[in-house]
Amino acid sequence: MAEDDPPFDEMFESPERIRPPYRRYDDWIKEEDLARLRRKAEESESFFRRTGITFNVYGREEATERLIPFDIVPRVLSAREWARLARGIDQRVRAINAFLYDVYHRQEILRAGRVPAGLITGNEAFLPQMIGVSPPGGVYTHIVGVDIVRTGEDEFYVLEDNARTPSGVSYMLENRETMLHMFPELFTTNKVQNVSNYPEHLRRSLSACAPDSCPGRPVVAILTPGIHNSAYFEHSFLADQMGVDLVEGSDLKVVDGRVAMRTTRGFQPIDVLYRRVDDDFLDPLNFNPASVLGVPGVMDIYRAGNITIANAPGTGIADDKAIYSYMPEIVQFYTGEKPILGNIPTWRCGEKDALAYVLDHISELVIKEVHGSGGYGMLVGPAASKKEITAFTAKLKAKPANYIAQPTLALSTVPVLTRQGLAPRHVDLRPFVLVSPNRIDLVPGGLTRVALKKGSLVVNSSQGGGTKDTWVLEE
């Protein structure tokens, strides 16, 4: 794509021609009154507010709760487009699980020189406590969120892998519920694949990963840091939808070699703990001794094979942004196949030549912290002021290994509803993947995040982005 070319528009081939996945939707919206659509948009906001779908914004003097803006124009993918994405994601997730097993066991990929050993052993996301530990069923990443961007008709790239505690699935489910409530007629004319069974699939997938010591039907619980966590709504939502207990660290203790939760009938052993607590806070006896969020001794029970922790401790090494740059080699090493989905070109700033290039082109690049997330700690060069670039240059020179840089891509656009009508905005996509010992399941679609500000490339909700319902058509 030439620099002056407009970004790929997923709905319009040209101002007069609609792309096939959107044709039935376009027929519908042409007959709709703009004022009615605006009222529906306001209605959706009221619905989210009543439901309590908020997230916390940090980085200010006080954390504040916000609604994530929801746009009522869906993003539509054809069955063919989704099939290709699904094959690529399946391949990538299989490689990630094989990579995690390898780096905590024989480390053959390091011996082969395909990934530098220093990127693993010197990485804060690498947990020595996991060396030699095999999780139940061999599954490290039970739930994965793979962030996908698009630049053309058949040009999809992985932006990053979320292998620790990927969030956002509750918004995907509520977005669909809202659209079904407000526009039921659309789901009659458009055959859209179902996403509402995700909680059922999640429980089944987690139960399939129970340890061999599990005596019967697995007991699953979700571990939350508590109500002040930015994703607490999602934790409580999923627990309710799955029909499992939502617990905090203070509700759990080790009893007779098992992790057990406090109930009205005394302490009940847990077989699978879906934790939404970071590694460092998971077990004060093995990690951060000051943590009050985790369970003292849970790692000892885990190493003994008496509980499944999802996702496994130490999975963060797989979504480290420096490791991301080696994912094409990782996929080929473990699957023997060329990657179906490409990576975005990435400069590792810890390398001398790469750092020199990045410093010379800083105003053209996107620079991210290796361990950063949520849109924090990054610089979007083309949108940054001279002052911001100067400040970021100093941080980059001080700790270059903490950063990677990538080109600014012309992300695809999807229409959003504005006061003037439809207008294009940049989007990405986070499909959610469930991994169990014998299968990998993908939700058909995922969470589309949209940069609501005109021209913005930052889709993160913490940075002003919103969400859309994502449709995958049945045919």
For residue 373, the model assigns a pLDDT of 59
Residue 382 lies in a domain: yes
Residues 124-151 have a mean pLDDT of 96
Q: What is the C-alpha to C-alpha distance for residues 142 and 327, in angstroms, rounded to an integer?
A: 19
Q: Which domain holds residue 403?
A: 345-408
Residues 397-405 have a mean pLDDT of 93
Determine what percent of the chain is predicted with pLDDT higher than 70: 94
pLDDT in tens, 296-346: 999 999 999 999 999 999 999 998 888 999 999 999 999 999 999 999 999
Number of CB atoms found within 10 A of residue 289's CB = 9
β partners of residue 449: 428, 467
Q: List, in order, residues 6 or more apart from 454 with CB less than 8 Å away.
A: 423, 425
Q: List, in order, residues 6 or more apart from 146 with CB less than 8 Å away.
A: 89, 92, 93, 158, 161, 162, 430, 431, 433
Q: What would the DSSP string read from start to end of 363-414?
A: GGEEEEETT--TTTT-EEGGG--HHHHHHHHHHHHH-GGGEEEEE-----EE
| Residues 178/44, Cβ–Cβ less than 8 Å | yes
Q: What is the C-alpha to C-alpha distance for residues 38 and 469, in angstroms, rounded to an integer?
A: 17
For residue 329, the model assigns a pLDDT of 96
Residues 154-159 have a mean pLDDT of 95
Residue 423 lies in a domain: no
Task: State the DSSP code for 180.
Answer: H
For residue 410, the model assigns a pLDDT of 87
Q: Which two tokens stand for residue 97?
A: 């699980």
The lowest-confidence range among 3-17, 190-204, 400-414, 431-445 is: 3-17
For residue 36, the model assigns a pLDDT of 93
Q: State whether residue 104 is helix, strand or coil.
A: coil
Please check the confidence at residue 141 and state whether its pLDDT lies above 70: yes
Q: What is the C-alpha to C-alpha distance for residues 155 and 151, in angstroms, rounded to an integer?
A: 5
pLDDT in tens, 81-93: 999 999 999 999 9
Nearest to 65 by CA among 233, 194, 249: 233
Mean pLDDT of all residues belonging to the chain: 92
Model confidence at 59, pLDDT cuts 50, 70, 90, reads very low
For residue 322, the model assigns a pLDDT of 87
472 CA to centre of own chain: 18
Please check the confidence at residue 450 and state whether its pLDDT lies above 90: yes
Model confidence at 230, pLDDT cuts 50, 70, 90, reads confident
Q: Residue 181: is it exposed, middle or buried by C-beta count within 10 angstroms (0-12/13-18/19+)?
A: exposed
Residue 17 lies in a domain: no
Q: What is the C-alpha to C-alpha distance for residues 451 and 293, in angstroms, rounded to an integer?
A: 33
Q: What is the C-alpha to C-alpha distance for residues 48 and 437, in angstroms, rounded to an integer?
A: 36
β partners of residue 472: 77
Distances (CA, A) of 257 to 66, 137, 466: 42, 20, 45
Residue 355 lies in a domain: yes
Strands 447-450 and 466-472: antiparallel
Please check the confidence at residue 371 and state whether its pLDDT lies above 50: yes
Model confidence at 61, pLDDT cuts 50, 70, 90, reads very low
Q: What is the number of alpha carbons within 13 Å of residue 143 lying toward its C-beta? A: 25
Model confidence at 471, pLDDT cuts 50, 70, 90, reads very high
For residue 1, the model assigns a pLDDT of 42
Task: State the CATH number of the domain containing residue 403.
Answer: 3.30.1490.270
Counted domains in the chain:
1
Amino acid at residue number 79: A
Residue 385 lies in a domain: yes
Q: What is the C-alpha to C-alpha distance for residues 69 and 450, in angstroms, rounded to an integer?
A: 9
Residue 209 lies in a domain: no
Task: State the DSSP code for 192.
Answer: B
For residue 374, the model assigns a pLDDT of 53
Distances (CA, A) of 135 to 142, 258, 310, 440: 11, 16, 10, 17
The lowest-confidence range among 361-370, 404-413, 457-466 is: 457-466
**Residue where the block lists tokens 């009659």:** 188
Please check the confidence at residue 417 and state whether its pLDDT lies above 90: yes
Residues 198-220 have a mean pLDDT of 96
**Residue where the block lists tokens 């949209």:** 450
SS3 content of the chain, % helix, strand, coil (to 5): 35, 25, 40
Model confidence at 52, pLDDT cuts 50, 70, 90, reads low
Residue 59 lies in a domain: no
Q: Which two tokens stand for residue 145?
A: 């969120």
Q: At what angle do helices 386-398 and 352-360 cross, to 10 degrees?
A: 170
Number of CB atoms found within 10 A of residue 448's CB = 25
pLDDT higher at 463 or 84: 84
Q: State whether residue 421 is helix, strand or coil.
A: strand
For residue 121, the model assigns a pLDDT of 87
Determine what percent of the chain is predicted with pLDDT higher than 90: 80
Distances (CA, A) of 371 to 141, 160, 299, 322, 429: 18, 11, 23, 9, 20
Model confidence at 5, pLDDT cuts 50, 70, 90, reads confident
Residue 377 lies in a domain: yes
What b/e readout covers 290-324, taking b as 16+ CB neighbours within 10 angstroms?
ebebbbbbbbbbbbeebbbbbbbbbbbbbbbbbbb
Please check the confidence at residue 367 and state whether its pLDDT lies above 60: yes
β partners of residue 418: 421
